[in-house]
């Protein structure tokens, strides 16, 4: 198994791509694009967003998605967590404005609650924890697919009156042209381009991540030029981290115990916990760029912080779940006298590099 570039403690999985995102924010702070450069980067960012969603559509296997429909109760549970419980908690956090959070950061927090769930990292953590990997794959895919339509619609509903400015005809047109149409085109052309994308997965992964870095640079450059960063103090950022820690703890606790009350088995509960409590940075950043325009810098900051926090916490949980599963298996083997050959262990090991150094959505 290839070792990650940065050999950090296993319980502290700081992804290299997160470091690249932080570096991009720093570059935008020191050398923000302005004037003609801003116009060029904005146009390039628009094209990069369209390319991202074309690739998302072309990669999504319709056959695999249909095969996962047998887990419909699990998928509905994850979707309810992602697009109902999360937004309700975000709306409840309105009580923290302005005493704890300024309106600008609260808008970003509320947007964070609207974006789809992750795919790769949810799958990796579910595999590491000995959960239902097939269900996690389908749940993440369905969430991303539905989120292309649901997230902008929810943003139009809940951001109005909460500092988001509502949903205009121009923003609707931008969503259709930059997100929905490229995604549909990718699905329609998958038959012809799917093989090429599979063969060049590694190279296209760099295209994926490079496009998102461009979006981040454009958004944060616009924020620097307009001086919006003077609105946020270090104390406010610490308050934001505290609020997000509480939000993550509520979702992890609710998904784990709630799924047990709904009658799911342990492996399904693990998939629900990881897929239902996490948010996609890769999907959220382009959507924020389209929805917020020049104000996207502060709008995506809560999502970027929450993304790294969820990776670190879920890595610890995945290891604990795996240790518990191994202990239960050993106890069963001791009683029954059977062997301890567990194919899930190999599967978890194969998924671990996704957490350490792969693209995390």
Tens of pLDDT, residue by residue over 278-287, are 998 878 888 8
Q: Which domains does the chain have, with CATH numbers?
A: 16-328 (1.20.1530.20)
pLDDT at residue 5 in the model: 40
CA 259 to CA 85: how far, in whole Å?
14
Q: Tell me, what's the pLDDT at 7?
A: 44
Residues ≥6 apart with Cβ < 8 Å to 243: 93, 96, 100, 101, 109
Q: Output the pTM of the full model.
A: 0.74
Query: 293: how many CB neighbours lie within 10 A of its CB?
Result: 16
Running along the chain, 361 residues long, what does each successive block of 10 average in pLDDT?
45 63 83 86 83 78 63 90 96 93 91 88 85 82 83 82 54 71 85 84 79 80 71 86 96 96 93 93 82 75 87 87 82 59 38 40 52
CA distance 145 to 198: 19
pLDDT value of position 228: 65
End-to-end CA distance of the chain: 22
Dihedral sign of CA atoms 108, 110, 113, 116 in order: negative
C-alpha span between 347 and 133 (Å, rounded): 9
Q: What is the pLDDT of residues 70-104, one digit of tens each?
A: 778 898 999 999 999 999 999 999 999 999 998 88
């Amino acid at each position: 198994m290839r070792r990650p570039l940065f050999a950090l403690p296993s319980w502290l999985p700081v992804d290299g791509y997160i470091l690249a995102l932080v570096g991009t924010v720093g570059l935008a702070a020191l050398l923000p694009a302005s004037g003609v450069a801003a116009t060029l980067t904005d146009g390039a960012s628009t094209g990069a967003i369209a390319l991202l969603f074309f690739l998302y559509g072309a990669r999504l296997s319709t056959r695999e998605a249909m095969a996962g429909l047998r887990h419909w109760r699990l998928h509905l549970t994850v979707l309810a967590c992602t697009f109902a419980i999360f937004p309700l908690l975000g709306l409840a956090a309105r009580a923290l404005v302005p005493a704890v959070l300024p309106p600008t950061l609260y808008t970003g927090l509320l947007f964070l609650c609207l974006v789809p769930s992750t795919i790769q990292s949810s799958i990796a953590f579910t595999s590491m924890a000995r959960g239902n990997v097939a269900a996690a794959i389908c749940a993440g895919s369905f969430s991303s697919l539905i989120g292309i339509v649901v997230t902008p619609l929810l943003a139009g509903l809940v951001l109005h009156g909460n500092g988001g400015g509502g949903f205009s005809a121009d923003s609707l047109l931008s969503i259709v042209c930059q997100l929905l149409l490229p995604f549909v085109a990718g699905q329609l052309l998958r038959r012809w381009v799917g093989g090429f994308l599979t063969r060049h997965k590694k190279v296209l992964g760099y295209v994926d991540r490079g496009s998102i870095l461009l979006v981040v640079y454009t958004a944060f450059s616009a924020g620097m030029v307009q001086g919006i960063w003077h609105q946020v103090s270090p104390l406010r950022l610490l308050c934001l981290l505290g609020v997000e820690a509480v939000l993550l703890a509520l979702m992890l606790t609710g998904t784990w115990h709630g799924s047990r009350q709904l009658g799911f088995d342990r492996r399904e509960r693990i998939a629900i916990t990881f897929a239902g409590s996490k948010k996609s940075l890769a999907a959220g950043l382009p959507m924020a760029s389209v929805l917020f325009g020049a104000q996207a810098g502060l709008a995506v900051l809560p999502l970027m912080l929450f993304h790294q926090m969820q990776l670190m916490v879920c890595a610890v949980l995945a290891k604990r779940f795996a240790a518990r599963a191994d202990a239960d298996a050993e106890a069963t083997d001791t009683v029954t006298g059977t062997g301890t050959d567990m194919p899930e262990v190999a599967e978890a090991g194969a998924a671990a590099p996704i957490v350490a150094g792969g693209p995390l959505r």
